[in-house]
Structure 1
Amino acid sequence: LIIGIWGGPNKIYAAFKFFLYTLMGSLLMLVALIYLYTQSGGSFALADWYKLPLSSTAQTLLFFAFFAAFAVKVPMWPVHTWLPDVHVEAPTGGSAVLAAIMLKLGAYGFLRFSLPILPDASQEWAWLMIALSLVAVVYVGLVAMVQQDMKKLVAYSSVAHMGFVTLGFFVFSDLGVSGAIVQMIAHGFVSAAMFLAIGVLYDRVHSREIADYGGVVNTMPNFSAFALLFVMANCGLPGTAGFVGEWMVILAAVKSNFWVGSAAATALIFGAAYSLWMFKRVYLGPVGNDNVKGLTDLNPREFLVMASLAIAVLFMGVYPKPFTDVMDASVADLLRHVAISKLN
């Protein structure tokens, strides 16, 4: 509704595309939920589903039914194609909610449904999940590099960053799962900040094209400082929220398989390439045109929002311990449950 009512010129197309993608995946998930309800003797309690003795065939079918719903939401490659269209048409607030909150629902689904209810199938198909995650990290990172629209660039970078989340879940280690959850939270702050920063520029110039800007730092110095921090966090700079989760997942992946970890680490290179190149073309250098010359710096409302996100990004990057402490017991319990089912 947010996209369809307040979106851009192709808002109806984008809203329908989003709706249809989500609907197709969710219908398969609904079938899986009904099957689990019948198998558990009429219970929708997750605790009951965790104890179900499901056959390997049933687990595999249910795994892919859940996968259909959660992969679209994350979104994983190759069902990620709705995301750039939807972000481009969505208003700034819609993009922030979509990137910061809704994409996390898919990853949360893997964590609460696929892994504990279907541990055998999760182990069996982990190679596929890891492969798709690496494609998202590497290939989609390269796609982001050639974008001319700022929103499309950040949308593709979201797909690449969320690839770390699914990768972390399916290496089955404390470090990997904890890193993936930290990455979910960090990406919520960083991607929302990136989209809101683009919204600040769009409100003034009514263009998202990188070519329509240049030298913004000359007319909006305060805003440019915030934008630089968020771009650095998007690259995964140490000391920012974007670094912590990605680094934990890369370490866990290297421990599991050196080549998987090496492929994942390329995201830090690609992330720096597309983020910093965009920053250079939009913010640095001489004033690009009359539109940029007439820009005004942040108003108090915009400053408050940017400062709040900046504090969150820096706090989580410098001191992530409160986040990891809270999740440690749950992560250990989940991995113990998956390991026990493998032994059985």
Structure 2
Amino acid sequence: MSSGARASSARGWRGLLGDVGEGVKVDFHTHLIPKSWPDFSRRYGYPGFVHIDHSQEHVEADGNARLVRDSEMYFEVGPNCWDLERRIVDMDAAGIDIQVVSTIPELFSYWAKGDDAADLARILNNDMSEQIALHGNDRFIGLGTVPLQAPELAVAELQRCMCELGFAGVIIGTHINEWSLDAPELIPFWEAAEDLGACILVHPNNLETKGRDDKYLVAKVCGIGAEICHGVTCFLTAGILDKFPLLKVCFAYGGGSFPYVRGEIEHGLRNASSQEGFANAVSKDMYFGKFYCDSIVRTPESRKFLLETMQEENVVFGSDYPAPLGEFSASSRTEKYHAAGKAVFSDYSESTRKKLFSENARRLLE
């Protein structure tokens, strides 16, 4: 498919948002991968890249595949990770009209050489654009990926995502190797994102899985919240939103533990004037309404606290579909996704549900 065809098809999502707020439901946090991709380790000449193995010898269900890095299995994935027609069936059953799709953090590849990561990002982004154009131009909105370890290349790919592929923005990690989100090297990226009106979804990546975290799923169930909170804190205290007030940023997994330790962060900021490391000693109240988080928390009590703390205008519905540690359990995630659009936040007012499922997403994406 030509780049022009990809762009003209992918831009169709902008028309979808015209009716958002009139009952349209948007799932802001879902993942999509190609059905296949090149052997990147062979392509670039060094190991460490994730590849997909469709051999049926070691999978639990027919049609599934394994994600493998250097012969070590990450996890098993099903066809709904790449088959948009199958996803549409699940979306219809769940009452979800639009999915915002992005790649998985295992494919960010920030550790790789910059030129190689840029090539990899182009491959992933082109595939996503083509899938949307062929199978779901009226149901899916794309977020691309960029090689943030090489900021100039990341800016170029962000521009291509927005101007050629017609994506709404990109997904990025909470850290890029040793850089946190406040790294001065990333300033050109934030500037370009603001200029282009790109939506940025911040997702935890490269969680520590060794040593004391290598048991009980500690890296996942504890690490995700801590990693996202670290990202939010660095982003806010560095004054990124002061420099670029029109940035549109959403933090995954309900902002991690940030809503729960917000008081500690504000206390630290109030007393930061004589301390090093704080670029912006201002209460975070000034930032509410300027950044968002998704709704992926596990209990009704957590959701209630999230909405009270972050304010319902700043939360978008997300499911992590079809990830096994998402809103829905691995054993029955498809069935639970069918019920999610009707059940999640069902106890809230219609006004609140409209904000969570549609109006906030429209404001963030447009």
Please, what TM-score do these two structures have when normalized by structure 1?
0.30
| Structure number having the greater strand percentage | 2
**Higher helix content, 1 or 2:** 1
Q: Which has the larger radius of gyration?
A: 1
